[in-house]
Amino acid sequence: MTVLHPDFDAGIAADLLGRMRRKAPRVHCITNAVAQHFTANVLLALGAIPSMTIAPEEVATFAAGADALLVNLGTLDDTRRAAIPKAIEAAKGAGKPFVLDPVFVNRSPVRCSYAQELLASSPTVLRANRDELAALFPGQDPLEALAGPSATLAVTGAEDLISGPGGTIRLANGHPLLARVTATGCAGGAVIAAFLAVSDDPVQAAASALTVFNIAGEAAAARARGPGTLVPELLDALYLIDETRIAERLKRV
């Protein structure tokens, strides 16, 4: 996890953003009840298409037909527990990437155990913060413990670390105001899924997604008066972000 990825730059992030907007991938999101509305709007603002059903009787069809899948454990109720395995099996059977976001596994042993079971399904990207990783992989190197030859880890925080095949990328974009609005991190997981749909390199896809989302967050925070105005500003910033803004603002560590 110490080899720096040599190729990632603003041009790659902008190229993948352009590819994503041209393709308009559908991302099926099994996400938490708090995040559903905001996540859908974030994807739409960027140019992707959300689908959000969690009904166990139809989720497999939705997931198989989507271009990528997000599984977020933020509100892990019985319906989501029933839907998640069906969606993962369908997405993987169709050769589609999926992101696992094990929200708050550090707060619930039951949820942590369930997330550890889901890791056996080899998520394309595991997105988590450092506390969640410590709960999932006690005493282990998370990247070494992940199943699958192309598994990628996206560790988010004040600095983001993306690590997988090809090396590690460290990024430092973002703004503290993003943490004052619920579901911004959860929506970021959906953006990673959208970028995975247009790239064969999960490290570059995850790094590009976080770059785009966090630079848009900086632009939004500069215009917002507080959390209440951040959300509309963020949606506008995601809609307007381009190669020039990315090149001006990208911060690699």
- What pLDDT does residue 149 have? 67
Q: Is residue 94 within 8 Å of residue 56, measured between CB atoms?
A: no
Nearest CA to 38 out of 74, 68, 64 is that of 74
Per-residue model confidence as pLDDT tens digits over 62-80 = 999 999 999 999 999 999 9
* CATH number of the domain residue 57 falls in: 3.40.1190.20
Which segment of 57-61, 84-88, 146-150, 233-237 scores lowest on mean pLDDT?
146-150
Nearest CA to 153 out of 169, 175, 140, 139 is that of 169
Nearest CA to 199 out of 31, 68, 60, 61 is that of 68
Confidence of residue 148 (pLDDT cuts 50, 70, 90): low
- What pLDDT does residue 1 have? 38
Per-residue model confidence as pLDDT tens digits over 93-122 = 999 999 999 999 999 999 999 999 999 999
Number of domains observed in the structure of the chain: 1
pLDDT above 70 for 133: yes
pLDDT above 80 for 150: no
Residue 114 sits at the vertex; the CA angle it makes with 85 and 138, to the nearest 5 degrees, is: 135
- Is 215 among the domain residues? yes
- What pLDDT does residue 144 have? 79
The total number of residues shown for the chain amounts to 253
Instruction: Report, as an integer, the average pLDDT of 153-169.
Output: 92
- Is 50 among the domain residues? yes
Non-local CB neighbours of 113 within 8 Å, separated by 6+ positions: none
pLDDT above 90 for 18: yes
pLDDT above 60 for 3: no
Instruction: Report, as an integer, the average pLDDT of 81-87.
Output: 98
Cα–Cα distance measured from residue 155 to residue 192, given in angstroms and rounded to the nearest whole number: 12
Cα–Cα distance measured from residue 207 to residue 162, given in angstroms and rounded to the nearest whole number: 6
Per-residue model confidence as pLDDT tens digits over 197-212 = 999 999 999 999 999 9
* Binding residue numbers: 52, 127, 156, 183
- Is 213 among the domain residues? yes
Domain interval for residue 217: 10-249
Instruction: Report, as an integer, the average pLDDT of 184-194.
Output: 97
Q: Which residues of 168-177 are buried (b: 16+ CB within 10 A; e: fewer)?
A: bbbbebbbeb
Cα–Cα distance measured from residue 164 to residue 64, given in angstroms and rounded to the nearest whole number: 25
- Is 2 among the domain residues? no
- Is 18 among the domain residues? yes
* Binding residue numbers for substrate: 52, 183
Q: Is residue 80 within 8 Å of residue 30, measured between CB atoms?
A: yes
- What pLDDT does residue 26 have? 98
* Residue 189: Cβ-neighbour burial (10 angstroms; 0-12, 13-18, 19+): buried
- What pLDDT does residue 145 have? 80
- Is 5 among the domain residues? no
- Is 1 among the domain residues? no
Q: Is residue 218 within 8 Å of residue 171, measured between CB atoms?
A: no
- What pLDDT does residue 2 have? 42
* Binding residue numbers for ATP: 127, 156
Instruction: Report, as an integer, the average pLDDT of 51-60.
Output: 98
The share of the chain scoring above pLDDT 70, in percent, equals: 96
pTM above 0.85, yes or no: yes
Which segment of 139-143, 210-214, 219-223 scores lowest on mean pLDDT?
139-143
- What pLDDT does residue 4 have? 52
